Amino acid sequence: MPGWEGRTWLVAIPLALVVSAAFLPVLENGFVDLDDEHNFLSNPHYRGLGLAQVRWAWRTFWLGVYQPLAWLILEAEYVIWGLDPRGYHLVSLLWHAANAVVLYVLTVAVLARCSTDSGPASPWAYALGAGLATALYAVHPLRVEAVAWASCQPYLPCALFSMLAVLAYLRAAGRGSAPQWGWLVGSGVLFAAALLSKAVAVTLPVVLLILDVYPLRRLGGGPGRWFGPAVRRVWWEKVPFLLLSLVFMGLAIAARTHVRAMVPLERYGTSARIAQACYGIWLYIVKTVLPLDITALYPAPQQVDWLAQPFLGSILGTVAMSVGLWLLRRRRPGLLAAWLSYLVILAPNLGLIRVSNQIAADRYSYMAMLGGVMVAAAGFSRLWPPLSRARPGAIGLATVSLGAVLGLVLLARDQCGIWRTSEILWTHALNHGAARSTEAHNNLGVVRSRQGKLAEAADHYAEALRISPGYAGSHNNLGIICSRQGKFAEATAHFRAALQSDPEDDEAYNNLAMILATCPEPTYRDGKTAVESATRACALTEWQKPEYLDTLAAAAAEAGDFDAAVAWQARAIALLSDERQQNEYRSRLALYQTKQPYRERVSARPPDGN
């Protein structure tokens, strides 16, 4: 597109400023009880950029994901910001603004490859079309979760490196079948960086093949243009990308074995999962067009009946859209390419393999909707020239466009406020469709418990258990409240129920051990079982949680092994950085050194939400 390069930043800079203005409220947000506690507040492993932290980043499957580059970035943020959430949110905002600029450049590049299909003559049409489409995407409230939730930050560098990988691939492929190998290698390196940030990028090789068909036209179009000698190179150059995908798919599967939220296939059969997948496909499209009731949690129903609305409608809509665009492939190949890329990018998060009790999540749309941006940009760029010839048309188009962007900016700013605190987040979720949700009730119970409102907390935990009777998190949290109230029999019953539901619940093991080791009523003390339970909690957390080692020391003291109690307590103290906590732990160490057990610690540490 001759003369275009000099105009790029005339749109990119205002775009970045508009995006930043839309998401500026995230700087007022804190950490929330949705993985932030586990990832940051109670995770000592990522705090710093020393050899131990770097090694941990490359080896860990923390919370069931493998994302070493994302952890290295977060470790650098900790060096700068410590545990100040505003720093993490600022970095997320900057990532998102950068993504908007790169998406704009990528959209222009793709439109340029489509320019032979009767595109507009003026580069300004591309500029304005791509700028408007990117702005509508970037300030949409569906993007808020990825930016306002600190634990979601890895999606942002993943998206950035993925888009840069596609840009490099477009440069490598050019308009013929022979690639420029330097750009192709660069694309592979960027793809690896995306995978190291978040495994959601694993389907990118399929997207590249879609681009090879259209708009690059390196595949398809006639006999021998799919698998013949002339296009073998196109397939062979994807092998390194495919191998990287397979490696990270394996790592993702291995990481998932470390998370306890896996939902067995027999509970949600094949037909139900297909129905859920189709529902998710249309949920993001509907929420894009009509951005209402956007929330942190879209709970899956206990049972999915594919014959019931809206599941049946979603299935029929998906089939109809796919067939219709296939029939239009010769006249409108870009629409089919965008639809297929949407399905391919979304596929890992459509619920075909269930790993949580959510039917959808806003963050899954972050990368999946990129193809839709390009379709919208093409439409806007073709709409602009005829309307711009008359002043009323140009003024009307500009007014509508600016109004749409401004409206989404205001919605996005409001949505950012929903993530300000845990109380606001979970109250909003319960008021917007998550009242059949176990997680929402449990996590709001955690908030009420920390506020000292134990009765309200217990009510929310009980409601969570009414919805999901075997939910380990709520059993564990109810046990904590019972232990605070001196109801030790009920507390131990809840902790054991949690372990029956989830035999790898480290918190339940630790909390049970606390009562068995330190309860002021001798009826409930059992030193041997306490040691076994506390040891299991420590092993599940790789012996890195000082509070669990503290419990193990108390259990050893109750069992009469004061030498072990001293050793474990000393190790717990060594893992602490807070002087107040160190002094508290030293007071118990002094007890063990004089061969006295610890008593009266009848409550567990505040629950962290699950």
Least reliable range by pLDDT among 4-13, 439-448, 566-575: 4-13
> In the predicted model, is pLDDT for residue 165 greater than 50?
yes
* Average pLDDT of the chain to the nearest whole number: 88
Residue 222 to residues 115, 217, 322, Cα–Cα distance (Å): 21, 11, 22
> In the predicted model, is pLDDT for residue 82 greater than 50?
yes
Cβ count near 222 (within 10 Å): 7
Domains defined for the chain, CATH in brackets: 5-417 (no CATH), 437-593 (1.25.40.10)
Most confident of 217-221, 230-234, 363-367: 363-367
pLDDT of residue 401: 87
> In the predicted model, is pLDDT for residue 605 greater than 50?
no
The predicted-structure confidence for 320-370, as pLDDT tens digits, reads as follows 999 999 999 989 999 999 999 999 999 988 876 655 667 889 999 999 999
How many residues are recorded in the chain? 610
Cβ count near 341 (within 10 Å): 23
> In the predicted model, is pLDDT for residue 302 greater than 80?
no
**DSSP secondary structure of 455-494:** HHHHHHHHHHHHHSTT-HHHHHHHHHHHHHTT-HHHHHHH
Residue 107 to residue 394: CA distance in whole angstroms = 23
Instruction: Specify which residues 298 forms β-bridges with.
Output: 360
- With residue 299 as reference, give the H or E element that holds it: strand 298-299
Residue 72 to residue 99: CA distance in whole angstroms = 19
> In the predicted model, is pLDDT for residue 52 greater than 60?
yes
Q: Residue 123: which of 376, 381, 379, 375 has the closest Cα?
A: 381
pLDDT-derived band at 259 (thresholds 50, 70, 90) equals low
pLDDT of residue 263: 44
Quickly tell me which residue has 């956007």 as its tokens: 294
pLDDT-derived band at 603 (thresholds 50, 70, 90) equals very low
pLDDT of residue 266: 44
pLDDT-derived band at 268 (thresholds 50, 70, 90) equals low
Report how far Cα 515 is from the mean position of its chain's Cα atoms: 35
Position with higher pLDDT, 268 vs 569: 569
When pLDDT is averaged across residues 538-542 and rounded to a whole number, the result is 89
pLDDT of residue 70: 97
When pLDDT is averaged across residues 104-129 and rounded to a whole number, the result is 77
Percent of the chain with pLDDT over 90: 63
| Maximal CA-CA distance, the chain | 92
Q: Residue 291: which of 401, 432, 151 has the closest Cα?
A: 432
pLDDT of residue 203: 95
pLDDT of residue 305: 79
> In the predicted model, is pLDDT for residue 81 greater than 50?
yes
- With residue 359 as reference, give the H or E element that holds it: strand 358-360
Q: The whole model's pTM is what?
A: 0.87
Least reliable range by pLDDT among 188-197, 352-361, 416-425: 352-361
pLDDT of residue 355: 53
| Residue 100 near residue 131, CB atoms below 8 Å | no
Report how far Cα 243 is from the mean position of its chain's Cα atoms: 24
| Residue 462 near residue 470, CB atoms below 8 Å | no
The predicted-structure confidence for 449-487, as pLDDT tens digits, reads as follows 888 899 999 999 999 899 888 889 999 999 999 998 889
Cβ count near 226 (within 10 Å): 13
The predicted-structure confidence for 565-598, as pLDDT tens digits, reads as follows 999 999 999 988 778 889 999 999 999 999 999 9
> In the predicted model, is pLDDT for residue 399 greater than 90?
no
